[in-house]
Amino acid sequence: MAEKSILDLCGLQGLIDALQGRGYAVLGPTVRDGAIVISEISTLDDLPRGVADEQDAGHYRLRERGDEALFGYAAPVQSAKPVFFPADEMLWRGRRGPEGGFTVEPAQPQPSPVALLGLRSCDLAALSVHDTVLTSRGLVDARYAARRADTFIVAVTCADPAGTCFCASMGTGPRPLAGYDIALTELLETEHRFLAEAGSPVGEDLLAELPPRAVTSDDTAAADDVVRTATARMGRVLRTDDMPEMLYAQARSPHWDEVAERCLACTNCTMVCPTCFCTTVEDVSDLSGDVDERHRVWDSCFSQEYSQLHTNFVRASTGARYRQWVTHKLAAWIDQFGTSGCVGCGRCITWCPAAIDITAEVDALRAASQQTAGGQHAQHH
């Protein structure tokens, strides 16, 4: 039994090797074009050693940390969403047959099992949100389910959150809570090492294959310290205790239109959000018109066609679309799925070209709601 263990750098490489040995494609963070992205990795050299990120509204930049940390940055550009839920995938291919007929060949992806290394707690929480949305209700996204089956997750405690992070407010981090096979906390002081904790029998199994090294009370204290410091350094805060009612009550607020004056409806926020799941379907025909592929592609509630009815659009104004996005994320999601649709990763803030900040806009809406509530209160006396 190896519920907890200490891995040194060699041990971490051993973990990657063991995963590959078990047939997993190992995906982890790596630096590409000045950003951290999730990609296939095979050695520790692929990881962003000594790299940190600066994130703020409309701002993303990598910098040198001046240490050897492998996980010393916050949310990568994309979460693991595209791994299981690709931006474009074929659903089926139709072939025209004789006499106006056609045949349907479902696309059957045969994904090899994936191991995710270094998954942030926010993205881990997002994965569980996606599992609920896409597989826990009446009808199941069969391709997502197939890709998700047999996933192995090595999550990591966020030690150095960015200015846009607020997972602590959302209860999703910085320490991985559930749903991982192994969770790592990177410890840099005195010796570069990782506190590894198994979260599943398979995780335990795998840890048992690695050279054993006992966990001391110093190690656990150091890990707790990492969590404490990270929580204290969270760049942003979001209050959620009055959801969903607060946002429902603000449906007519003029503030939505005020945001719309800045919002470009570019869809960036929904594309980088790890929980957004909206899609549309497109037909791709070959030149002869005899073969027709149905593709499911990511869509966004910020696009006009999203709500099309004939030549009209239910949400014609950008304000209505921004309201849909925020109200769905933070309020309706709770009614629909029993959790918030936001995990506090901060990506929508970082990648907004207009630097619109969901935490600030919600604060502004709440302030407006309290003013109206206060006004009504005054009238009664």
Partner 1 sequence: MTAATTQQPPVSRDPMVPRPFRVVASHLDTDDTVTLSLEPMGSDPLVFAPGQFTMLHAFGVGEVPISICGDPTRPDPLMHTIRDVGNVTHALVSAEVGAVVGVRGPYGTGWRPGDGVGGDLLMVAGGIGLAPLRPALLEVASRRDEYDRVVLLYGARSPADILFEDDLRRWADECRIEVAVTVDYAPPEWDGRVGPVTTLVGRAGFDPPRTLALVCGPEIMMTLTANALLGRGVAPHRMRLSMERNMKCGAGLCGHCQLREFFLCVDGPVLPYSQLAPLLDVREL
Partner 2 sequence: MRSITELLHDSPFFAGLPDPVLEQLAGCARTARFAEGQMLFSAGQPANDFYLVRHGRVAIELHNPSRGTITLDTVHDGDVVGWSWLVPPYLWTFDARAAADTSAVEFDGACLRGKCDADPALGYALMRRVSHVMYERLQAARVQMLDMYGAPM
Ligand X SMILES: Cc1cc2nc3c(=O)[nH]c(=O)nc-3n(C[C@H](O)[C@H](O)[C@H](O)COP(=O)(O)OP(=O)(O)OC[C@H]3O[C@@H](n4cnc5c(N)ncnc54)[C@H](O)[C@@H]3O)c2cc1C
Residues that bind ligand X (CB under 6 A): 308-310
- Pick one of 206, 277, 356, 361: the residue that binds ligand SF4 (CB under 6 A): 277
Partner that binds at residue 335, options ligand SF4, partner 1, ligand X, none, CB closer than 5 to 8 Å by kind = partner 1
Q: Which of residues 237-276 bind ligand SF4 (CB under 6 A)?
A: 270, 272-276
CB 226 within 8 A of CB 187: yes
Q: Which of residues 175-204 bind partner 1 (CB under 8 A)?
A: 178-181, 200-203
**Does 209 sit near partner 1 (CB under 8 A)?**
no
Distances (CA, A) of 87 to 29, 33, 39, 126, 305: 19, 20, 15, 16, 18
Q: Six-digit token pair at 103?
A: 């045949």
User: What is the side-by-side strand order in the sheet with 88-96?
Assistant: 102-106, 88-96, 291-298, 279-285
Q: Six-digit token pair at 233?
A: 């350094």
Shortest gap between Cβ of 167 and ligand SF4 (angstroms)?
9
Q: In this complex, which beta carbon is closest to partner 2, that of residue 110 or of residue 311?
A: 311
Shortest gap between Cβ of 99 and partner 1 (angstroms)?
5
Candidate ranges 189-197, 288-296, 346-354, 368-376; the one touching partner 1 (CB under 8 A)? 288-296
CB 126 within 8 A of CB 81: yes
**Does 376 sit near partner 2 (CB under 8 A)?**
no
Max CA separation in the chain (angstroms): 79
Q: Six-digit token pair at 318?
A: 């950008």
Q: In this complex, which beta carbon is closest to ligand X, that of residue 310 or of residue 380?
A: 310
Distances (CA, A) of 130 to 84, 141, 213, 317: 10, 10, 35, 28
Distance CA 85, CA 89 (A): 8
CB 247 within 8 A of CB 326: yes
Q: Which of residues 111-170 bind partner 1 (CB under 8 A)?
A: 113, 124, 127-128, 131, 133-146, 148-153
Applying CB under 6 A, the residues found at the interface with ligand SF4 are: 270, 272-278, 300-301, 324-325, 328-329, 342-348, 358
Applying CB under 8 A, the residues found at the interface with partner 2 are: 309-312
